[in-house]
Amino acid sequence: MAYTAPVLSDTPLEGVDLTYTQQPYTTTSGDPAYPALPFNYGTRILTSNNGSATYVLAAATINQYDFVSITSTGSAQPLTAALATTAKYIGCATFTAIANGYAGWVATQGTVTGNVLLSCAADVALYATGTAGYLDDAASPTTVLKLNGIVAVSARGTTNGSTSLVMTYPVQAE
C-alpha cells in the first residue's frame, strides 16, 4: 500500500484558519482572551492543491486579492515595483483582507485569485506595477519589474480586478 503524505487544507482546521486575522495583543488594544498570536511571523504551512501560505504582519492595509511584498521579518504590504526589488517573498492575500497592524495568512504558492490591471492576458510574463497590490502583463515606466514564478490562468476584462493565477514562490526576474 502506498503512503500518502498528509497535507494541511485551506478549509478551517484546528489551529489554522486562513481567513482569520488578529491584532497583536498590547495592554491598550487586543483581546486579553488571546494574549499572543497563534503563529510567528514568517511561519509557512502547506495548503491544499500543492499550495503554501505564510503568516505575516500587515505594515499597511492589504485588500483581499492584493499581491504583497514580504520582508525577512514577516512584514507585508501591497506590492509595487519599488517594493518588489527588496522583497524576500511575494505573496497574495487570496484568503482575506488584512488590516494595517493585524496578522494573517497570504498565499505564496498554488492556485490563487489575485489583482491584475485591465486587459491582463493569460499565459504571459507578469510585472509588478505602480498600482499597489496589482500585477500586469505589459512593461511600461510604472511596470518595470518582471516576476518569475507566477502566471495568469485566465485573462482580465476591461477593468482592474481579480483573476485566477498560479504561483510557485514568485520572485523578481534577474
Residue 139 corresponds to which cell in the numbers above?
512593461
Q: Residues 94-111: pLDDT tens digits?
A: 999 999 999 999 999 999
Look at the alpha carbons of 163, 166, 167, 171 in this order and tell me if their dihedral is positive or negative: negative
**Confidence band, pLDDT 50/70/90 cuts, at residue 143:** low
Tell which residue, 54, 51, 130, 135, has the closest CA to residue 91: 54
Q: Residues 39-82: pLDDT tens digits?
A: 889 989 888 768 899 999 999 999 999 999 999 999 999 999 88
